[in-house]
Amino acid sequence: MSKIKSFFIGFSLLAIMFVAVIMCVLVYRANQQSSIKSYIFQINNIASQRVGALQDINDMSAIELRNKLIKTYVAEYFKVIPNETNVYNRPLLENLSTNNAYEQWKNGEAKTIEQMSSEKMFRRVVHITDADIATMNMPAGYDYYSADTAKEIFYEIHYYTETWSKSNRMSVEPVYESGTLRIEARFKPGIKEDIRMQIKPGIYKNVSIKQYLQSGENPMGLFMFEVTRIEDELNQ
């Protein structure tokens, strides 16, 4: 009787080992056949501002290009990153500003950004539509394409920001604010003749378009757009 019992126990152990081997083989094959698929996440809740197809600059009107540059400028102007090491060094913002306009930002909004960043706050511009951008003093019949020189024109931009008082805390709800930024800017469709790239804070050198893009710089810095003066009016 004991021999029969031992036989069945041994047979059972062999069966269990056989099943275990089969399971290991299946798991290994499944791992070999698995693949990783990458996706581009939608980075904005506004459908018109989600990542889309590449757009040919020749198919873009002067107004559309101008508005994209203005939106980029405003986003850089108000952006707050927690514990930013050098708030006052924003190459793209500096590249799109005259020295006087950049000093205005450094002596104004940048100080607010520095304080917010030190408190680990996070802020971004979440919404600007084309309808939120208005020209204030554009001469009648002014044409960006045919103008001999880029005229200094005032633009009024209504923007909306989203601010977290503490970063990386799921319990903290963002605060939404709206405001108005008035900028005086020179704009003409096309690429700058002299393209500058920052080597280190405060130091730039002229480079080719290829060098600029290969360095990972923002393409918006290539265009003939320059803010000359800034006015800010926050509407709580």
Instruction: Tell me what percent of the residues of the chain surpass a pLDDT of 90.
Output: 47
- Under CATH, what is the fold of the domain 61-235? Nuclear Transport Factor 2; Chain: A, (3.10.450)
Cα distance between residue 63 and residue 35, in whole Å: 44
**Residue 76 pLDDT > 90:** yes
**Mean pLDDT across the stretch 149-161?**
94
CB 164 within 8 A of CB 122: yes
CB 175 within 8 A of CB 166: no
pLDDT score recorded for residue 19: 63
**Residue 156 pLDDT > 50:** yes
**Mean pLDDT across the stretch 169-187?**
90
Q: Are strands 122-127 and 133-135 parallel, antiparallel or unpaired?
A: unpaired
**Mean pLDDT across the stretch 81-104?**
93
**Mean pLDDT across the stretch 153-177?**
89
**Mean pLDDT across the stretch 53-66?**
78
pLDDT, tens only, 5-53: 565 566 566 667 666 666 665 555 655 554 544 444 444 444 444 455 5
**What's this model's pTM, rounded to 2 decimal places?**
0.73
For residues 174, 179, 182, 183, the Cα torsion angle rounded to the nearest 10 degrees is 0
**Mean pLDDT across the stretch 136-144?**
89
Per-residue pLDDT band for 101 (boundaries 50, 70, 90) equals very high
pLDDT, tens only, 199-209: 777 788 888 88
Where do the domains of the chain lie? 61-235
**Residue 169 pLDDT > 80:** no
CB 221 within 8 A of CB 212: yes
